């Protein structure tokens, strides 16, 4: 099977990337091919599971038409400026144009060292590869814009991370891998020509109706506002919202230390390296604004006279809270069963959330329990819920079919940390069954069913995962 690659990014000037072939591995082995995604891309999943494609996913061969590159980018990591990051353990193989005309990057993650690897080995172990596979596919099934997992393979090699672990490679698909940090890379070098080329590329690729850099900024602000609202509506904590991990396309990217909350708390943090809670659940909208301010400043040289440009850019990013707030309200209204809009709705939602925090209620189970009359049991003190439910019931009386709204808005199954870690532990021991089972459950997150029994449960006390780690 040959892919009709059309590698538009690799046709940009040389300073956008470094050409690099993947490093061959000892013994490629198939973990999974994502059949529905393959089909959507116009690829035959059965052929992708055959040895020649497993070798390609492992980096031992190149598909015809590929132009492998490590993309250059910079970024703010935890607020600190890093002038050069780049693909240190990933390679963009090329771009696939799907049968529906949409263009996708095909990237290998864990494919060996590049010019951007610094002290890293360019490799990944099976843990982060499976974690990204599971969580990114769960996000897609939940309707959240995200990079996807096309395939995962083992390398037959050991990767050292404090201890010896099995190596793996993820084949990732994305609308593109262009980040806020890609713009920052060129802005920091005063390379206005590159910024112009990058802006034109991004507009043509992601926002074809935008005509100017300011239009682009407006579009990216809106896309990020909606994305973060989606995360918030699911209790999702990205964990490492550095500017190099914010995609211009509006897709969720980088599933390193991410986590779905079990018990709700706005200050919740999982990432082991997020000491000060910069990327806590409740901070995510603020951080998006901060990141977009960095993006806006990169576009300024393309926006004409400085004074008016700054003013227009500021106005654009300041619309984020408004767009985010409206989307948040729309999503959370549905989560409590509301379709109609009344002035008191925001306060009603916020009252529930603050009681959930106080009662350490499980985020997903509380909302999914609303349709089933089971939410009160999620609170350490059920009267916290009952005290709210009186107002809610009165409000619901003015809704036509709140049960249907609740069921459509609230997933039953999310990739809970303890399940993800269970799947990884088993895989390290050679058993992929829990990984495949978890993926099958998460493929239909809203559809409660007997064969998924137990996957809706919150972790038992001893199963609770409190820390997640960057997937290096
Ligand atoms: P991340 O934390 O995944 O956003 O990565 C931040 C930067 O570190 C990027 O430039 C990565 O390419 C680089 N990096 C992370 N892990 C490795 C690794 N194992 N080898 C080389 N570079 C890495
Ligand atoms: Mg990253």
Residue nearest to atom 16 of ligand 1 (CA): 472
Asked if 93 contacts 62 with a C-beta cutoff of 8 angstroms, the reply is yes
Domain annotation covers residue 451: no
Strands 69-71, 17-19: parallel, antiparallel or unpaired by DSSP?
Answer: antiparallel
Domain annotation covers residue 185: yes
* 17 and 163 housed in the same domain: yes
* 20 and 146 housed in the same domain: yes
* 161 and 199 housed in the same domain: no
C-beta neighbour count of 412 within 10 angstroms: 22
**Which atom of ligand 1 is the closest one to the Cα of 110?**
19
> Residue 462: what pLDDT?
94
- pLDDT tens digit sequence for 137-169: 999 999 999 999 999 999 999 999 999 999 999
> Residue 471: what pLDDT?
67
The candidate with the shortest Cα–Cα distance to 105, out of 177, 48, 34, is 177
Domain annotation covers residue 409: no
By three-state DSSP, how is residue 469 classified? coil
Catalytic residue among 244, 254, 262, 362: 244
* 199 and 236 housed in the same domain: yes
Domain annotation covers residue 433: no
The candidate with the shortest Cα–Cα distance to 409, out of 137, 140, 143, 134, is 143
**Which atom of ligand 1 is the closest one to the Cα of 124?**
19
> Residue 472: what pLDDT?
65
Which residues of the chain carry a pLDDT beneath 70? 471-472
* 45 and 119 housed in the same domain: yes
- pLDDT tens digit sequence for 346-378: 999 999 999 999 999 999 999 999 999 999 999
Last residue of a domain, one of 113, 140, 174: 174
> Residue 1: what pLDDT?
87
Q: Whole domain around residue 59: which residue ranges? A: 9-174
Give the Cα separation of 44 and 37 in Å (integer): 10
Q: Residue 244 catalytic? A: yes
Which one of 72, 108, 117, 157 would you pick to mutate in the ligand 1 pocket, going by the greatest count of ligand atoms within 8 A of its CB? 117
Give the Cα separation of 222 and 320 in Å (integer): 7
Asked if 142 contacts 247 with a C-beta cutoff of 8 angstroms, the reply is no
* 131 and 241 housed in the same domain: no
> Residue 328: what pLDDT?
99
Residue corresponding to tokens 């008016």:
308
* 214 and 285 housed in the same domain: yes
Last residue of a domain, one of 126, 156, 174: 174
Ligand 1: residues whose CB is within 6 Å?
85-89, 116-117, 120-123, 240, 244-245, 254, 256, 470, 472
* 153 and 211 housed in the same domain: no
> Residue 174: what pLDDT?
99
Asked if 257 contacts 270 with a C-beta cutoff of 8 angstroms, the reply is yes
* 199 and 163 housed in the same domain: no
Q: How many domains in the chain?
A: 2
The candidate with the shortest Cα–Cα distance to 299, out of 219, 391, 379, 359, is 219
Give the Cα separation of 48 and 214 in Å (integer): 41
Distance of CA 109 from the midpoint of ligand 1 (Å)? 10
Residue corresponding to tokens 């190596």:
167
* 254 and 237 housed in the same domain: yes
| Token duo for residue 130 | 């499976």
Residue corresponding to tokens 């009952």:
386
> Residue 357: what pLDDT?
98
* 81 and 137 housed in the same domain: yes
Distance of CA 337 from the midpoint of ligand 2 (Å)? 36
Domain annotation covers residue 305: yes
Domain annotation covers residue 137: yes
Domain annotation covers residue 452: no
Domain annotation covers residue 208: yes
* 212 and 93 housed in the same domain: no
Distance of CA 124 from the midpoint of ligand 1 (Å)? 10
Last residue of a domain, one of 114, 146, 174: 174
């Amino acid at each position: 099977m040959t892919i009709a690659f059309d590698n538009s990014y690799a046709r940009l000037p040389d300073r956008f990337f470094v050409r690099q072939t993947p490093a061959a591995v000892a013994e490629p082995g198939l973990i999974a091919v994502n059949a529905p995604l393959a089909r959507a891309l116009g690829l035959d999943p059965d052929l992708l599971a055959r040895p020649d494609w497993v070798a390609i996913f492992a980096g031992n061969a190149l598909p015809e038409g590929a132009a492998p590159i490590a993309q250059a980018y910079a970024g703010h990591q935890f607020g600190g400026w890093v002038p050069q990051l780049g693909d240190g353990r990933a390679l963009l193989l090329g771009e696939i144009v799907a049968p529906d005309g949409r263009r996708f990057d095909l990237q290998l993650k864990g494919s060996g060292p590049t010019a951007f690897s610094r002290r890293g080995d360019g490799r990944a172990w099976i843990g982060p590869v499976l974690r990204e596979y599971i969580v990114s596919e769960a996000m897609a099934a939940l309707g959240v814009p995200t990079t996807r997992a096309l395939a995962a393979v083992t390398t037959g090699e050991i990767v050292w991370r404090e201890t010896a672990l099995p190596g793996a490679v993820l084949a990732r698909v994305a609308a593109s891998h262009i980040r806020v940090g890609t713009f920052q890379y060129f802005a920091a070098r005063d390379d206005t020509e590159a910024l112009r080329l990058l802006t034109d590329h991004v507009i043509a690729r992601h926002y074809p109706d935008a005509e100017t850099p300011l239009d682009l900024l407006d579009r990216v602000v809106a896309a990020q506002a909606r994305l973060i609202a989606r995360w918030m509506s699911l209790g999702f904590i990205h964990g490492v919202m550095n500017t190099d991990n914010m995609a211009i396309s509006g897709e969720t990217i980088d599933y390193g230390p991410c986590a779905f909350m079990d018990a709700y708390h706005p200050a919740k943090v999982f990432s082991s390296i997020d000491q000060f809670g910069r990327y806590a659940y409740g901070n995510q909208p603020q951080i998006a604004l901060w990141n977009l301010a960095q993006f806006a400043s990169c576009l300024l040289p393309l926006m004409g006279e400085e004074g008016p440009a700054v003013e227009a850019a500021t106005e654009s990013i300041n619309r984020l809270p408004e767009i985010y707030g409206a989307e948040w309200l729309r999503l959370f209204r549905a989560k409590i069963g509301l379709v109609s809009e009344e002035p008191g709705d925001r306060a009603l939602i916020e009252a529930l959330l603050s009681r959930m925090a106080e009662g350490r209620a499980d985020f997903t189970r509380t909302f999914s329990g609303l349709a089933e009359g089971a939410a009160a049991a999620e609170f350490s003190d059920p009267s916290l819920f009952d005290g709210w439910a009186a107002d809610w019931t009165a409000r619901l009386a003015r809704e036509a079919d709140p049960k249907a709204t609740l069921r459509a808005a609230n997933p039953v199954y999310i990739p809970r940390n303890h399940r993800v870690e269970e799947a990884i532990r088993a895989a390290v021991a050679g058993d992929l069954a829990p990984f495949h089972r978890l993926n099958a459950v998460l493929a239909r997150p809203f559809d409660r069913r007997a064969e998924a029994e137990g996957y809706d449960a919150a972790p038992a006390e001893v199963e609770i995962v409190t820390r997640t780690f960057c997937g290096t």
